[in-house]
Structure 1
Amino acid sequence: MQLLTYPEAIVVGLLQGVTELFPVSSLGHSVLLPALIGGRWGRDLDVSAPESPYLAFVVGLHVATALALLLFYWRDWVRIVGGFFTSIRYRRITTPEERLAWMIILATIPVGITGLLLEHTFRTVLGRPVPAAVFLTLNGLILLGAERLRRRAARAAEAEVVVEAAMAEVSTGSVYRSRAGAATAPDRTTGDPDERLAAGTFWRAVQIGSAQVLALLPGISRSGATMGAGLLKGLSHEDSARFSFLLATPVILAAGVLKLPDLFGPLGSGIHGQVLAGSAASFVAAYLAVRFLTKYFEHRTLNPFAIYCIAAGLASLAWLTLR
């Protein structure tokens, strides 16, 4: 049995750390890159093979990526975990931390159940280069569609706030007013970001979290799907990215922890050094990626990632089918 080499481990680790958080699909790139390079890379890094050591290697990368997210958002997670325990202790869901904790829990349930039932089937049946190229192209179209529809969703959300403000004026006499005296919606880009997220409904959180199910398809991005869903539900780019990364942390960590026996079993035999090297690369890449993206989405959109996915998907599909 051929084992992963250290160059393969480091390159794939860097790729995993970046593409897991960028809305371009880590699984899609993990399938396509080895196929496009060919040779030993194509044999060693076959994610659809049921007994490949590559599967055990990916476990380490997922855990490293989740740890990078935990480190970056550690202050948020301290508040969220604290909110969960105060909610249990006092049997309430009132503070922003308590609400956000339960939003994340509820939003994670759909992908957790679906992943346990269908992940193996999707990976072995669809985890091949041609389907991955098709889904990567589709991922780009999804991102473009979310951007086109987000303005309509944002206008609807603002109109809802204006109506609520007008109703509050009738009942209490208080209302947000512009200089002209007209009712206006409060600014959703100011204040604490966790409070903005917690102000939404639990149903909205579940709808956004359910979009992660699409990421079981190789080529569809977890972060891209949840960011797109967040935009369609009226969130800003910044808040969509933040909620996406918070949602991804327990999912990625759980996926890695559940498969740790593979890493320490026969599939992981002889590649522990490669796992450490790849995981270190993935951790650094993921941390730098989340730092970049949190700043990027303060003022920019998903369009560049959409164009990249469409171009890369179509080019890969052409190369794989015509060569």
Structure 2
Amino acid sequence: MDWLQVIVLAIVQGVTEFLPVSSSAHLILVPVLTDWPDQGLAFDVALHLGSLSAVLIYFRRDIFGMTVSWGRSLKTRELDADAKLAWAVILGTIPVGLAGLLLKDTVETVLRSPIYLAIGLIAFGLLLSWADWRHRGERSEYQMNWKDVLLIGCAQALALFPGTSRSGITMTAALMLGLSREASARFSFLLSIPVIVLACGLETIELIKAQVPIDVAAMVGGVVLSGISAYLCIHYFLAFIKRIGMQPFVIYRLVLGIALLWIFL
């Protein structure tokens, strides 16, 4: 890859990973809509590591508190607010982990068509719009019960369908269950941590087995640029989400989905 491709893909991944617009769709579309070759699995791993570093740094205090409380809960079996949230992240990750293991090959081959991307962008965009208008509440992520967590976790498994958006579908489910926009976004971002770790782990194992040659400079550049853009995206999204709502992202999804249908049908 040349450096223009590295820079564009890293920024695209960083910006779209935590917005409800589907980062996987954009990473698939960039080589489709340009003359660039597919960036390959190794670079995708690097980009996701950048996004992971961003969310870990941004929520470092929350994660530290959750980790300490979670460890204490294993000994005392008593759950404070941070321990409950930590267990919620673990429970909410199980459905997508199981679905990923069962459907991985299908997702990576059959469903990588621009038509499927367009369908996912439009359908789940409309669902997000409806949830934001009709079902948004004021509950925080600390006020969820185990049923809420399980439903959001099951919704996250739908993100395996291209164009859905992992952050988008988890925010949609959280909004439908009465969480506020900020709480929906924060829990979605926390849920991304184990998902990205698991995905990167599986992809790294595949890379080791395949003995794929790696461009170290491009990988490092991708991690750094993806991490910076993802951090800024998280910061400004959480700062403005109460004011701007989800509708601008819904409009973007609809326009992009319709454009893809027009181009590829």
Q: TM class by shorter-chain length?
A: over 0.9
Query: What residue number does 1:18 align with?
Result: 15
Q: Is the 8 A contact 2:73 2:83 kept in 1?
A: yes
Are the structure 2 counterparts of residues 108 and 7 from structure 1 closer, same or farther at C-alpha, using a change threshold of 3 Å?
same
Q: Is the 8 A contact 2:92 2:149 kept in 1?
A: yes
C-alpha displacement of 1:214 = 1.5
How far apart in 2 are the matches of 1:9 and 1:128? Answer: 23
Query: What residue number does 1:78 align with?
Result: 64
Q: Is the 8 A contact 2:17 2:23 kept in 1?
A: yes
- Taking structure 2 as the reference length, the TM-score comes to 0.94
Q: Is 1:198 the equivalent of 2:142?
A: yes
Question: Deviations 1:57-110 (Å, cap 9, x if unpaired)?
Answer: 1111111111110000000000111111001011222x1011111111111110
Name structure 1 gaps, 5 residues minimum: 46-52, 155-187, 190-195
Q: Is 1:110 the equivalent of 2:95?
A: yes
1:258-269 matched pairs, under 5 angstroms: 258-264=202-208, 266=210, 268-269=212-213
How far apart in 1 are the matches of 2:17 and 2:115? Answer: 20
2:240 is aligned, of 296, 304, 314, to 296
Are the structure 2 counterparts of residues 64 and 229 from structure 1 closer, same or farther at C-alpha, using a change threshold of 3 Å?
same
Q: Is 1:245 the equivalent of 2:245?
A: no
How far apart in 2 are the matches of 1:88 and 1:35? Answer: 48
Amino acid at match of 2:133: R
CA RMSD of aligned residues (A): 1.7
Query: What residue number does 2:215 align with?
Result: 271
- The SS at the match of 1:298 is helix
Are the structure 2 counterparts of residues 300 and 91 from structure 1 closer, same or farther at C-alpha, using a change threshold of 3 Å?
same
Question: Deviations 1:248-288 (Å, cap 9, x if unpaired)?
Answer: 11111221123223445645404222221112111111001
Are the structure 2 counterparts of residues 267 and 65 from structure 1 closer, same or farther at C-alpha, using a change threshold of 3 Å?
farther
Q: Is 1:129 the equivalent of 2:114?
A: yes
C-alpha displacement of 1:210 = 1.8
Q: Is 1:309 the equivalent of 2:264?
A: no
Query: What residue number does 2:157 align with?
Result: 213
Query: What residue number does 1:50 align with?
Result: none
Amino acid at match of 1:145: W
> Percent sequence identity over matched residues?
38
How far apart in 2 are the matches of 1:130 and 1:224? Answer: 19
C-alpha displacement of 1:5 = 2.7
Query: What residue number does 1:89 align with?
Result: 75
Query: What residue number does 1:61 align with?
Result: 47
How far apart in 1 are the matches of 2:17 and 2:176? Answer: 21
Q: Is 1:34 the equivalent of 2:31?
A: yes
How far apart in 2 are the matches of 1:271 and 1:30? Answer: 18
- The SS at the match of 2:20 is coil
2:2 is aligned, of 1, 5, 9, to 5
More helix by share: 2
Are the structure 2 counterparts of residues 270 and 59 from structure 1 closer, same or farther at C-alpha, using a change threshold of 3 Å?
closer
How far apart in 2 are the matches of 1:267 and 1:60? Answer: 16
How far apart in 2 are the matches of 1:30 and 1:90? Answer: 45
Say which is worse superposed, 233-242 or 124-133, in terms of deviation.
Answer: 124-133
- Taking structure 1 as the reference length, the TM-score comes to 0.78
How far apart in 1 are the matches of 2:202 and 2:176? Answer: 32
